Amino acid sequence: MEKLININKTSAHPFWVMVNKELRDHVRSWRFIILLFLILLTCFGSLYTSVTNLSKSIKANDPAGTFFFLKLFTLSDGTLPPFHVFIGFLGPLLGIALGFDAINSEQSAGTLGRLMAQPIHRDYVINAKFTAALIVISTLFFALGFMVMGLGLIIIGIPPTAEEFLRIVFFLVLSVLYVAFWLNLSIFFSIRFKQAATSALTAIAVWLFFTVFYQIIISLVAKAIMPAEGAGQQEIIQYQNFILNLLRIVPSQLFSDATTTLLMPAVRSLGPLTMEQVYGAIPSPLPLGQSLLLVWPQLTGLIAATVLCFALSYFSFMRKEIRSR
């Protein structure tokens, strides 16, 4: 009986065996090591910039020193972007690197057919690929976030308040969710295309389009439909809301709006306000609950986009024809 108990304790579920295998492959891969080095380098650079300019910013803009610790993630003197901007730029590359060859590399090597011949469920494969990559991303981002907080605590000697700590945690969760969208999108391309290079180039092309070219298109549209001189206040506000809604189709804009609101409590609105709305408002930082309510549409949009990409990947993989070589 004791031998049976020991066997049951040591035997693992096939799904978690596959997850462990994917975790080891990700951590040992050179692309992950290179991206990790770049993220660490930019993280230390942004931390150095924020710490060196912290005292000047507080004296000029915040004599009371409120939300002192959040400035480690948002402060910059223009030489280097702040920490959350680096995450918004390098995060998609990390998600694409972990997922662009998730399926087609296995199929081209002939291992996917042999894997499917084992007595395991077909959906274990796609679920294990996504779970392992998500564990790597979550571990990396939370380790970076807590490392920045720890180094900041050592350097400036001021601990974060409970609200500051929760805001940073929500920011890290939002960052993981944002990178998970690009991970699912790259996994979907790895299912649709047979060559890993094609799926990688397609994912990078989508990222470049949303990062660079989509902004140019929106600028042209904004100039074309700009209200005439002397337009009323209501017409101008409708025009600005329309342009903002077009920009928020892009996941990066949703991430930027949400992180700005979470890490900068002084932000009270993400859209244009009328004079009636501004009149009588007290210029004070929002509490955490109100900031979360303000970014709830952005958070819902990111969750919906991530779930949609995963559903497309799951559906495509379950219907994909797999032949062993």
Q: What is the mean pLDDT of residues 263-269?
A: 79
* Identity of the residue numbered 171: F
Note the pLDDT of residue 139: 92
Q: Are 255 and 178 in contact (CB under 8 A)?
A: yes
* Identity of the residue numbered 224: A
**Span of 82-91, 264-273, 287-296, 305-314 with lowest mean pLDDT:** 264-273
* Cα–Cα distance list, 221 to 211, 240, 319 (Å): 17, 12, 40
Model confidence pLDDT, tens digit, residues 148-192: 888 888 877 778 888 889 999 999 999 999 999 999 999 999 998
Note the pLDDT of residue 66: 66
| CA 42 to mean position of chain CA atoms | 16
Q: What is the mean pLDDT of residues 287-307?
A: 89
Question: Using CA atoms, how far apart are residues 166 and 172, in angstroms rounded to an integer?
Answer: 10
Closest CA to 86 of 203, 175, 152: 175
| Helix, strand, coil in percent for the chain, rounding step 5 | 75, 0, 25
DSSP for 95-121, written as a single string: HHHHHTTTTHHHHHHTHHHHHHTSSS-
* Identity of the residue numbered 156: I
b/e burial code for range 174-193 (CB count within 10 A of at least 16 → b): bbbbbbbbbbbbbbbbbbbb
Q: What is the mean pLDDT of residues 112-128?
A: 80
* pLDDT range class, residue 39, cuts 50, 70, 90: confident
Note the pLDDT of residue 307: 92
Q: Are 82 and 264 in contact (CB under 8 A)?
A: no
Q: Residue with structure tokens 């790597």?
A: 136
Q: How many other CB atoms are found less than 10 A from the CB of residue 291?
A: 22
Which value, to the nearest 10 degrees, does the dihedral of the CA atoms of residues 71, 75, 81, 87 take?
10
Please, which contacts does 56-61 make with residues 24 or more away whose CB atoms are closer than 8 Å? none
Backbone φ/ψ region at 117: left (φ over 0), alpha (ψ -120 to 50), beta = alpha
DSSP for 200-217, written as a single string: HHHHHHHHHIIIIIHHHH
Model confidence pLDDT, tens digit, residues 200-234: 999 999 999 988 888 899 888 888 888 777 667 67
Question: Using CA atoms, how far apart are residues 61 and 65, in angstroms rounded to an integer?
Answer: 9
